[in-house]
Structure 1
Amino acid sequence: MSNGDSEETQTDVLLDRQRPKPTGGLVVIFREAAETAAQIAALEAGGLRASALPIVADLTDFMAAEREVCAVLTELGVAFVPECAPARAGELIGLLSDQEAVADTRPEFYLFATAPFQDTPERTWGVAAVGAVESPFTGQGIRLAVLDSGLDLQHPDYRERRVASRSFVPEEDVDDLQGHGTHCAGTAAGRPLDSGTPRYGVAPQAELYVGKVLNNRGAGRERDILAGMAWAVGEGCQVISMSLGAPVRQGETYNTLYEREAQAALSAGSLIVAAAGNESARSNGYIAPVGMPANSPSILAVAAVDQALEVAEFSSGGINAGIDGGGAVDLAAPGVGVFSALPLPREYGSLRGTSMACPHVAGCAALWAESDPALRGRALWDSLTQSALPLSADERDLGKGLVQAPGRGGPAAA
C-alpha cells in the first residue's frame, strides 16, 4: 500500500538522521576459520600495516600509540583500521571485501548514551518495584561493571568507597562530566549517605568497576567500547551494565563485533546487560527496533516501564526479534522518574530512559549472583528471565516481564 511505503520511507530517513557518524576508521570481521596469519595478510594486501593484539582491553592504548597500524584482535577475529580519508576508506572497503579471509568490512561508528530525559522525581520506586528492598542480598562479593561516561569520584556517596576504574577515552580521565554514567552506576550499585538520602542503588554492596567508554559529550567509539567490555570480563566482573547504543533499521541484523565479545563473556562467567534504546514514539504508533549492541543474541536487552508498570513511551521493542537469533527484548525494568546520583553540584536527580532501566537489571543480576555461586553467565541470565514478573504488555515490548530480586516473595510494589 502506498501509505505504508510512505511511512516506511519516513522512518528510514529518521533513523538515518539518528545514526551516529562514522569515526573515519573501519571494522574488519574475519571469517571464523581464518588464522591470524591470513588475517594480517588480508590487511597487508590492502596496503595496510597490521599487528596482532591478543588482549582486547589494550586496544585503546595501542591505537593511540600506533596511529597508522591496524590492530588485529586475535581473540575475536576482528580488526580495527585507523582513521583515514573517506575516499581511502571506500577504496579499502572494496579491497578488503575481496580477500578470502574477510567476512565483512564496514565503517566504525560512534555509539551514544541512550538519551535520558528529565522527569518529576519518583525517588526509590524502582528499587521497590524490583524487590531489592525486601531481598536479603546486597551484591556483596560480586563485581559489577558499569561501562558509560565514567563516575563523579568526588560525589559524597563514592568519595570514601573503593571503586576500580579505567578510562578508555583518549585524553580523558574516568571522572564523569556528562552525568549519565554517575546516574547509571548509582542505580546499579549506589550506596546513599546515612543522612537520610533514600536508597537508590539495587546492589549497594557490590564491588563497583567503572569503565569510561563514552566521552564527556556522551559519545564513544566502538573500539573503546569493545576494549571496555574486554577489560570488565578480564577483571572477573560477573555483571556488566551498558546503557549505550545506536539505532538500527527494521529488518537489520545484529553486529558480529559485539556478539563475539558477548559470547566470550558468557563463557567466562560474565553477563552483559544493555539498554534496548529510546527511539520509539508509541503514542504516534511508531515502535523502533532494539538498538545495537542490545540486539545481540548473547547480550540481555532491557526495556523500560513507568510507575504503572506499562511500557514506556520511548522504549524500543523487539520488532526484529528472531532475525538471526537477535533483536528481542529480554526483560523490563523501571525507566521513568528514576532517582539516582548526579555529578556535583547537582548531587541527585531523576531521569528516564532505557538507560535507567538497564542498571536495575544489572543490580538484580548482582543480587542473584550473590545468592548462588553457580549463577554465572548463561545460568545467571536464565535465573533473571525465569523469575521475572509477567506484565500485561506483549513479550515483544517487555520480554519475560519485570526483573525481580531474589528472595522478595511477593508482587512488585510500585
Structure 2
Amino acid sequence: MAADPRTTGRYIVLLRPDEPDTGVRQLVELTGVRVMHSRSRDTPPEPPERCIVVFDHIGAALLYCSTDAGQVITQAAQAGDTGILAIEPERRVHATGTGAANGATWGIEAVGALASPYSGRGIRIAILDTGFDLEHPDFQGRNVTARSFVEGESAHDESGHGTHCAGIAAGPAAPEGGPRYGVAADADLFIGKVLSNRGHGTDGSVLEGIDWAVQNRCEVVSMSLGSPVQPGETYSTVFETVAQRALQAGTLIVAAAGNESRRPAHIAPVGHPANCPSILGVAAVDRALQVAPFSCGGLEPAGGEVDLAAPGVDIESAWPIPQRRHTINGTSMATPFVAGIAALHAEADARLRAAALGERLKRTARALDAPARDVGAGLVQAPQQE
C-alpha cells in the first residue's frame, strides 16, 4: 500500500490525563526506546537521539517509531485499561495564506479595533507559524519571546508568513511610515516556529508549540496552518483533547479554516486542526464583507464548522526586512485578527479566559449576510467602551 502523502510515518499519542506516567511507561515497554520530556529541555534534540518526546503540559507525545511499533501501540490503546487514550498518524501541515495582492488595512476598522479603548496590555498571544523577524523596526522595545520547534532552523522568519500574522495580531498602534495594521498593540508576543521557512511542518511541531504556549500561560494561541480534510472525515482525537486541556489551563486556540481556490467555499470543509470543536475555526471575508472565494466552509456539524469570520483579503501587515510590509490574502490573515480581538476582550474583562473568551467572541460578532457554515457567528468585533 502506498504511503499517504499527508502523513510523515510518525505518530502522535494522547495520554490519559489522570495517569500520564503510566502511559509513558507503557510506551517505553512497547517500543523499548528512551523518552524525553518537554519540561526538562530547552532546545529540541536531533531526531536520532529520540524516539518518544512527551509534551508534558498537554498530555501528548510524538513517536519517532516504525510502523510495527505504531501498530502495537494502536492495539494497546484499543484494548483499553491503559494510560494511552489514542494514537494517530502524524500529519503534515502548511501555512494557509494565498498569493500577494494590493490593498491596505481596512480590516482594522472593520473589526472595530480603531474605536476600541483596549490594546491587549498584559495578555499573551502565541503565534505558531514560520517564526518572526525579531529585528523588525515596528516591534523594537516590545515584549517578544521566540523559540523554534523546527529542526535546524532558528526562530527567524525567512518566509514572511509568520511575521505577517504576528503583525496583524499585535502590530503597533502607530507604525512609522504607514497605516496601522495590528489589532492588539500592547499584547506580549510568544513566537513559536512550528513551520519551516518553506511554510511546511508536522503535527508534532504544532503540538510542541501548543505545549510551550500553555506552559507560558498564553491566553490565546493563533495557528494559521492546516492540512486537507475530506468531506465526512472526522476531527483529530488528539488535537481535540489537547484543545480541551488547553482550555482547562486557560488557553484559547484559534486556527485557520483553510483555503481552497478550486471550489466554492461551502463545498470544501474546514481543514485540520480547525475542524476540532474546541478550536475556533476562522473563515475569511473581503472588503464587502462577503465570503472570500478561497475560504473553506464547514460541512460537519459535530466538528468541522466555522466559528467566526475576519478580514482575509488585501491585508497589509509586517514583513521581514528589507521589505518591511506586504499585502496578502488568506484565512491565515483572518486568524490573527481573531486572536488579536480575543486579546482585547481578555484585557477588558479578566473573567474572560479559555471557553468563556471564545463564547464572548461569538456572542459579540457582527452578523453577516452569509450561511453560518461559511462565516459562523459572523465578523469578529473588538470590545468598546461601556
TM-score normalised per structure 1: 0.85
Question: 1:199 Cα shift?
Answer: 0.3
Residues 274 and 50 of structure 1, relative CA distance in 2, 3 Å threshold: same
Map of 1:355 onto structure 2? 332
**Shift, 1:260, TM fit:** 2.0
The farther-off stretch of 28-37 and 186-195 is: 28-37
CA contact (8 A) 1:317 1:398 kept: yes
Unaligned runs of 5+ in 1: 1-15, 410-414
2:120 is the alignment partner of 1:112: no
Tell me if structure 1 keeps the 8 A contact 2:252–2:357. Answer: yes
Equivalent position SS for 1:116: strand
- Residue 342 of structure 2 aligns with which residue? 365
Shift of 1:215: 1.0
Matched, 1:310 2:293: no
- 1:1-400 alignment, distance < 5 Å: 21-30=6-15, 36-37=21-22, 39-45=24-30, 47-51=31-35, 53=37, 55=39, 58=41, 61=44, 64=46, 67-73=49-55, 76-82=58-64, 88-89=66-67, 91-99=68-76, 100=79, 101=82, 102-121=84-103, 123-191=104-172, 194-279=175-260, 281-283=262-264, 287-322=267-302, 326-400=303-377
The whole-number CA distance in structure 2 between the counterparts of 1:239 and 1:214 is 18
The residue type equivalent to 2:227 in the other structure is: A
Whole-angstrom distance in 2 between the partners of 1:60 and 1:288: 38
Question: Percent of aligned pairs with the same residue?
Answer: 48
Q: How far off its partner does 1:21 sit?
A: 4.0
Shift of 1:65: 6.8
Q: What TM-score results when the alignment is normalised by the length of structure 2?
A: 0.90
C-alpha deviation, 1:160, in angstroms? 3.5
Deviation at 1:38, TM superposition (A): 5.1
1:219–1:184 CA distance, 2 compared to 1 (3 A): same
Going from structure 1 to structure 2, the CA distance change for 1:128 and 1:106 (only over 3 Å counts) comes to: same
Distance in 2 (CA, whole Å) between partners of 1:38 and 1:343 is 43
Change (3 A) 1:258 1:386: same
Is the alpha carbon distance of 1:71 and 1:129 closer, same or farther for their aligned partners in structure 2, counting shifts above 3 Å?
Answer: same
The one-letter code matched in structure 1 to 2:200 is A
TM-aligned CA deviation for residue 288 of structure 1 = 1.0
Judge conservation of contact 2:16–2:23 (CA < 8 Å) in 1. Answer: no
Question: What is the rounded CA distance, in whole Å, between the counterparts of 2:189 and 2:167 in structure 1?
Answer: 10
Change (3 A) 1:288 1:295: same
Question: In structure 1, what is the Cα distance between the partners aligned to 2:134 and 2:174?
Answer: 15
Write out per-residue CA displacement over residues 338-392 of structure 1, whole angstroms, 9 at most, x where no aligned residue. 0101111221111100000001111110111111111111111111000000011
Could you say which structure has the larger radius of gyration?
A: 1
Number of equivalences: 380
Distance 1:195 1:31 in 2: 50
